[in-house]
A and B are shown apart, each in its own frame.
Chain A
């Protein structure tokens, strides 16, 4: 587990890849603090040292000499190289290794999520491995995932745009009406966490809360078996509304 400054402020990171956002955040923050300290120092120092005093004239320069150009150019280049290029480098690696590197391993847990005003509809494919069939496990506002396996989500909104946000995983992703978007995460420790909506979705946006229950593999399996049994009993072929799922998008 990584240790970050001010950890009391934020939620516990229980994900395999959340450290990436944190690491980049704190690197950027450190660089910003240094840059801002220098700017503030220059502001305060100049304000005090060069305040108007009788008999002291300002220097007459337009700052167009070679030395001024060189200093400005070197400092701007330094900012770009030490801060920006590093951010791009690290972030490119992050998205390549994690964000856009969707899991393909067979043990991936696949879940379809369809938010609506103001709830989270959640669907597992069931024993047949195919979504939108009678054996699908469907829950409301409760997502269960096992520890240590990649979890991939297909998101599609029913009515307005919502955003699936799990702070303990440093992850959020929009769910749009009309088409499927994808995201993924992997938990490293069990526990009960909150699912939040982070896109304004109407006046009760603040109440759009779900539970993310991360369980050890055995507990998850037990729950899933039970839920699959329930699913078959509960399925009503006459109720077309029940089949809100879609063909899985890898």
Chain B
């Protein structure tokens, strides 16, 4: 086995901005025992699959909870079919208000920290970073293993919390004190929530450190930052935000833990205490200092993946690649200084509110740039509408809706009316749920062949797309409508208010669409499972694209690359006139007599 670095000609070596660390990546023998191979694995590809299963499990759980929440909104006082009878036999299957509160709290928590984060960051971060930058594994495989198993502990805290006396946390996914302290939430459910969030946050930080280091240190020779696929850019920026801001959340929930368990008063005030009060709003500051970057933490991997897939399936280089990468970076910077727009009605200093509003509006500029670049990529392309492409176009569509409705909430005077209404719910689900979910599906359909060595069924995939995009748009746009009409979030029975009663037909239709959306996910489950067992065998490069992971077998061998590749081109060299006989070019493939 030759030292790859020694074969790099001088003309290429100057491109390589990192140190020649790749030379130190040894090939380890593949583990043979079941435990080492599938359970406590150090292999980033296995950990990626573990995260995928883990995330899909919680996605299903959070999804069922969403259906039950919608059922209660549209058909209050009736039992949810089958599951209702099992869960609440004492009330004839009708969900009691306490359970409703626990369900919307846990729906948000599970979807954000235990579904989206594991699927996009855990699974695809792990799978794609080493494969796409030409590395044999992550920089810290042990940390990677620890990150996954810490997440499992966190998930256990959440699952167990449903079964303790008084049930799971029920103070909203933000768990604002004083409601989330013993004043409003006695019982162990909320304490387990705090522990679970703290643990999953720790796991995220471990992952982030690993991802950042891997991207900085293990890029193959020739792969500068601007030769990286945009998927890696997105995941890398997410990791940076995670490393900077998850600790702030961890600090917040740790103080909450102290308040709950050791009787401290960081967030306690009001009638509950006689002297030495704290400040519940302090928690909101800590939460949103993390919380606003968090929305970008969740969406950036999807943005990156979509940016790549739009180019791959348009058979055209990503339009304005550098501008897209830099726009995503600028958004990361801006995300650090806008969090106050979540707090326009708490009674913050007017000057701060106005400053946060102005800074928030700046986000439009980079957002407009990469939106235009996405459209520019498709312009004059030769577009192949395979399932991953359909989902990518779907992301552009729903993220357009979600991003634009953020404007209403960024301006103080319209936000005051819309704050804590279903308009907010519609907006952030379009950005964080719909686009991220569609992005995750795009990624799964696209990289499934590389992960499992089999192709997914295209016909089922296309049905799945159309039966997802239509109801998902109806659901969340319906929420925007009732939100504008004034309906607050988190109401067990909104018909308690006279001014909301006339919204019933809209709410019923939103629920119907939500149930259809839930039902159509069975198409995905069926496709996923059957393809894994009996799908068509995948070739090395079924989509005919040039990024490094498609130059090795599907699935890749334990050590990924027999020889570390030498990168010569960017990730999107489609229809390069210098290439003949095919319309794509692998990143490490010389053109004609180009020196290797």
Contact = CB atoms under 8 A, between A and B. Distances in A.
B354 A95 contact: yes
B320 A64 contact: yes
Contacts of B101: 200, 202-203, 205
A159 B178 contact: yes
Given A9-B484, A88-B361, A94-B413, A52 B280 contact: no
Contact of B321 (A62, A83, A84): A62
Contacts of A40: 397, 400
B304 to A, nearest CB: 17
Given A11-B486, A99-B412, A161-B179, A172 B316 contact: no
Nearest to B578: A60
B365 A80 contact: yes
B498 A194 contact: yes
Contact of B488 (A76, A99, A196): A196
A202 B184 contact: yes
A32 to B, nearest CB: 4
Interface in B358-392: 358, 361-362, 364-365, 368-369, 371-373, 375-385
Nearest to A116: B271
B397 A60 contact: no
B371 A39 contact: yes
Given A32-B405, A176-B269, A163 B420 contact: yes
A58 B488 contact: no
A161 B384 contact: no
Interface stretch (A132-140, A142-150, A178-186, A229-237): A178-186
Nearest to A241: B271
B417 A47 contact: no
Nearest to A175: B347
Nearest to B493: A206
B277 interface: yes
A157 B269 CA distance: 9
Contacts of B381: 46, 50, 58-59
A154 to B, nearest CB: 11
A158 B484 contact: no
Interface size class of B (residues with CB under 8 A): 35 or more
A8 B354 CA distance: 32
Interface residues of A, number: 97
A204 interface: yes
A159 to B, nearest CB: 6
A132 B369 CA distance: 57
Interface in B437-456: none
A57 interface: yes
A56 to B, nearest CB: 6
B414 A25 contact: yes
Contacts of B361: 80, 84-85, 87-88
Interface in B329-351: 345-347, 350
B480 to A, nearest CB: 10
B470 interface: no
B393 interface: yes
Nearest to B361: A84
Contact of A9 (B354, B376, B481): B481
Interface in B388-409: 393, 396-397, 400-401, 404-405, 407-408
Contact of B97 (A56, A58, A206): A206
B533 interface: no
B497 interface: yes
Contacts of A171: 416-417
B421 interface: yes
Contact of A100 (B350, B377, B380, B410): B350
A204 B577 CA distance: 67
B408 A176 contact: no
Interface string B81-101: 000000000000000011011
A167 B380 CA distance: 49
A24 B413 contact: yes
Contacts of A225: none
A152 B575 CA distance: 67
Interface in B288-330: 314-323
Contacts of B269: 176-179
A42 to B, nearest CB: 5
B345 A79 contact: no
A57 B362 CA distance: 38
A172 B280 CA distance: 19
A128 B364 CA distance: 52
Contact of A62 (B320, B354, B383): B320
Nearest to B487: A167
B17 to A, nearest CB: 20
Given A59-B575, A64-B322, A91 B357 contact: yes
Contacts of B464: none
A108 interface: no
A94 B381 CA distance: 46
Nearest to A165: B488
Interface string B247-275: 00000000000000000000001111000
A199 B493 CA distance: 15
A91 B412 contact: yes
A98 B384 CA distance: 54
Contact of B383 (A46, A71, A174, A179): A46
B56 interface: no
Interface stretch (B8-16, B26-34, B148-156, B169-177): B169-177
B36 interface: no
A173 B354 contact: no
B354 A92 contact: yes
Contact of A99 (B98, B100, B179, B416): B416
A196 B411 contact: no
A25 B484 contact: yes
15 contacts: A18-B417, A32-B405, A40-B397, A42-B375, A46-B378, A47-B383, A59-B380, A61-B316, A72-B369, A94-B412, A117-B184, A172-B416, A181-B347, A204-B492, A205-B491
Interface of A: 6, 8-11, 18, 20-22, 24-25, 28-29, 31-32, 35-36, 39-40, 42-43, 46-47, 50-53, 56-64, 68-69, 71-72, 75-77, 79-80, 83-85, 87-88, 90-92, 94-95, 98-100, 116-117, 155-161, 163, 165, 167-168, 170-174, 176-179, 181-182, 193-194, 196-207, 209
Q: What are the nearest 4 A-B pairs in CB distance? A: A177-B270, A178-B269, A181-B347, A63-B319
Interface of B: 97-98, 100-101, 170-172, 176, 178-179, 183-184, 269-272, 277-281, 314-323, 345-347, 350, 353-354, 357-358, 361-362, 364-365, 368-369, 371-373, 375-385, 393, 396-397, 400-401, 404-405, 407-408, 410-414, 416-421, 481, 484-486, 488-494, 496-499, 502-503, 570, 572, 574-577, 583
Given A98-B413, A172-B417, 6 more contacts: A58-B574, A59-B316, A60-B575, A95-B353, A176-B346, A194-B499
